Amino acid sequence: MLTLGINKPKLSDETFYLLRDIVYKRSGTFFPENKKYLLETRLARRLELKDLKTFEDYYYFLAYDAERERELQALCNSVVTNETSFFRDGPQLEAFRKGVVSKVIEEKSRASDRSIRVWSAACSTGEEPLTISMMLHEEGVLTRGWNVDILGSDISDGVLRAAAAGVYDKYSLRNTPEEYIRKYFTGSGETYTINSRARSLVRYKKINLVDANETRMVRGMDIVFCRNVLIYFDDASKKKAIGHLYDSMEKGGYLLVGFSESLHSITRLFRPVSVERSVVYKKI
């Protein structure tokens, strides 16, 4: 049993560098030396499931085993941070609802285009794209005759399976206003299911943001949310991901990154714009 301290496998520095390199190349997530314990903890479960005794054995499995592709996906699923919730970062969502949506509607009306495409680019278990869907419903965008398409994507197929199921615990809804719960969810107590009205605008797809081939299929986005994922990347991965997001967007489109994230020093392809006291980025 790996859970017993005496038998716990130890991650040597040498193997840490090899494994973090695999994780980095695959996902863009970078584990600096001071996060070694985190990689060690998150990978210990994989060793246990594969019945491997040491991290060295695990490295060789990833490098040479016939099942390596499947394990690389499982590895990605287990090392990323999936923390999310409905209505995360309220002030920024208000900027989206009150400012960004009306700007996009105004600009697209001029071009007689009545479709809005939104991409939630690292959506975890779906709370973010579903929040966007509910907000667009509340803004009356659909009743005014606009077509809305929301793409939720993530590198991890595990979280996307949960997103597709659409079942959430009470904790995920901790910031959700009561009237939204009544209108868009069924259930009570500990478990809630998103209803088809909110769900029907959202489609899910597995897309790795640092992979040019996977992001190439996404084009023509008016608004992109890429929140709370760039913090796990180093500058090279950030630049790669932001370049891919840029290519996926319409000229004049808006990019919203996380509260603690910034494009400063990463790219000059976007212009920071202040909307309702939040900063969003406009593709120029």
Ligand X SMILES: C[S@@+](CC[C@H](N)C(=O)[O-])C[C@H]1O[C@@H](n2cnc3c(N)ncnc32)[C@H](O)[C@@H]1O
User: Which one, 252 or 258, has the nearer CB to ligand X?
Assistant: 258
Q: Does 278 bind ligand X (CB under 6 A)?
A: no
x/- site string to ligand X, residues 216 to 255, per CB under 6 A? -----------xxx--------------------------
Q: Which of 118, 210, 242, 266 binds ligand X (CB under 6 A)?
A: 210
Shortest Å distance, C-beta 160 to ligand X: 9
Give the phi and the psi of residue 142 in degrees, each rounded to 5.
-75, -40
Q: Does 29 bind ligand X (CB under 6 A)?
A: yes
CB 174 within 8 A of CB 180: no
222 vs 83: CA distance, rounded Å: 25
User: Which one, 53 or 70, has the nearer CB to ligand X?
Assistant: 70
x/- site string to ligand X, residues 79 to 118, per CB under 6 A? -xxxxx---x------------------------------
Quickly tell me which residue has 């309702």 as its tokens.
276
Torsion of CA 132, 233, 24, 73, to 10 degrees: -10
Shortest Å distance, C-beta 193 to ligand X: 19
Residue 56: strand, helix, or coil: helix
User: Which one, 154 or 222, has the nearer CB to ligand X?
Assistant: 154
Quickly tell me which residue has 């002030």 as its tokens.
91
194 vs 85: CA distance, rounded Å: 13
Among 141, 124, 144, 125, CA closest to 133: 141
Q: Which of 40, 154, 222, 250 binds ligand X (CB under 6 A)?
A: 154
CB 240 within 8 A of CB 249: no
User: Which one, 15 or 92, has the nearer CB to ligand X?
Assistant: 92
CA angle 175, 178, 182 (to 5 degrees): 125
Q: Which of 92, 133, 156, 248 binds ligand X (CB under 6 A)?
A: 156
Beta strands per DSSP E along the chain: 115-120, 147-154, 167-169, 185-188, 191-194, 202-206, 221-226, 249-257, 270-275, 278-283
Contact segment (CB under 6 A) with ligand X among 30-38, 42-50, 60-68, 152-160 equals: 152-160
Q: Which of 172, 208, 248, 278 binds ligand X (CB under 6 A)?
A: 208
Shortest Å distance, C-beta 185 to ligand X: 18
User: Which one, 56 or 71, has the nearer CB to ligand X?
Assistant: 71
Per CB under 6 A, residues contacting ligand X are 27-29, 80-84, 88, 122-124, 128, 154-156, 159, 208-210, 227-229, 258
